Amino acid sequence: MSRAIPTALGRDLVTFFEDFLPAQRGLSPHTIRSYRDALLLLLRFTARELRRTVDRLDVPDLTVERITRFLAALETERHNSVLTRNARLGAIHVFARYLAGQRPEHLGTLQRIIGMPFKRGAVETPIEYLDRAELDALLKSIDRSTDLGRRDYALFAFMFNTGARVQEALNVRVADVRLEAPPQVRLLGKGRKVRTCPLWPATARLLRDLIAERSDFRDGSVSPLVFTNARGAPLTRYGVRYLLCRYVQKAARVAPSLKSKKLHPHSIRHSTAVALLKSGVDFVTISQWLGHAGLNTTMRYARADLDLKRRALAQVFPHAVAPPPGGRLLLDGSDLAGWLRRL
């Protein structure tokens, strides 16, 4: 049986993911996977409506009306938030712009898709972070008498020191780290932008010990990853999330405030930002430290920390937080679908 000839949509999807996003747009693998997930959901929704396989879909099948129904289904059937719904639409916008350059005969429909507005009412997710006592409890919950425990301790200490996104930390290779004074690390961030972060002497010592314990660091081949699993394979974001949840459960026995927090690896990055802000570091430096695209992202941390709000209140209305008399106030399916899944 002869293989079906790919449709124009199928061919454009391949070049979109294999060439346009990584080579021309320079997007990271993580961002490309998020685009893949959005378009795969849309293709499956469209195939279900038309009672076809994904492989047989073509550009005219992507209409404003169908995408509107798809976006509604994300909220009603998949219970996605408005933020997630808008992120999916953003990926569709990018693909529609790409298709407009490849298939000008469908320009009218594609322009209507590009013009589909984002939904208002997206609620900014509260920023969860660890304060100093909670972070200390987390690190102390790690058993450093084992190889994996020392790796985990070094990983979370490194993430707090640098404020690195979890994938940025997992992508760090030995060649990216300078342990001599002044110690520093090179991080590859969003948009393939490179930034350099200083390392505290204590963090540098942890990394030096970790590297010294690993035999594959000395084989002279391609610079290996610093953080790997027990088999020497790369750690995953999901693996780090699992480790964090496990240690948070242990640490909650000492720091009960952890029980009410919904923490994830990005929370450590939030913790770095808030700690820098509390130490008096300016927004521009924090933005560069964390690799933010603009100051608006950094400003969220000022809104998130209650202590900073209390200090601002004390400066404007000192009597509002003055100790009360006699006491003190403490301020604390198909081939195409399968190909997309494998990206």
Q: What are the pLDDT digits (tens) for 273-299? A: 888 888 888 888 888 888 887 776 777
Quick check: is 231 in a domain?
A: yes
Number of domains in the chain: 2
Q: Output phi, psi for 309, to 5 deg.
A: -65, -40
Last residue of a domain, one of 263, 278, 293: 278
**269 a catalytic residue:** yes
Burial 264-290 (b: 16+ CB within 10 A, else e): bbbbbbbbbbbbbbeeeeebeebbebb
Q: Which of 190, 237, 250, 278 is catalytic?
A: 190
CA distance 100 to 195: 34
Q: Are residues 107 and 170 in the same domain?
A: no
Question: Could you tell me the CATH number of the domain that includes residue 36?
Answer: 1.10.150
Question: What pLDDT, on a 0 to 100 scale, did the predictor assign at position 29?
Answer: 82
Three-state secondary structure string covering 71-111: HHHHHHCCCCCHHHHHHHHHHHHHHHHHHHHHCHHHHHHHH
Helix (H, G, I), strand (E, B) or coil at 233: coil
Structure confidence by residue, pLDDT tens digits, 222-279? 679 999 998 889 999 999 999 999 999 999 999 999 999 999 999 999 999 888 888 8
**300 a catalytic residue:** no
**238 a catalytic residue:** no
Q: Are residues 212 and 158 in the same domain?
A: yes
| Residue 339 pLDDT level (bands cut at 50, 70, 90) | low
**195 a catalytic residue:** no
Q: Output phi, psi for 278, to 5 deg.
A: -65, -30
* pTM as predicted: 0.65
Last residue of a domain, one of 77, 99, 114: 114
Q: Which residue has the higher pLDDT, 4 or 319?
A: 4
| Residue 316 pLDDT level (bands cut at 50, 70, 90) | very low
Average pLDDT, the chain: 85
Question: Could you tell me the CATH number of the domain that includes residue 257?
Answer: 1.10.443.10
Q: Are residues 164 and 274 in the same domain?
A: yes
CA distance 84 to 106: 27
Quick check: is 173 in a domain?
A: yes
Q: Which helix (H) or strand (E) holds 251?
A: helix 237-251
Cβ neighbours of residue 231 under 8 Å, at least 6 residues apart? none
**270 a catalytic residue:** no
On the 0-12 / 13-18 / 19+ scale of CB atoms within 10 A, 175 is: exposed
Domain span at 186? 142-278
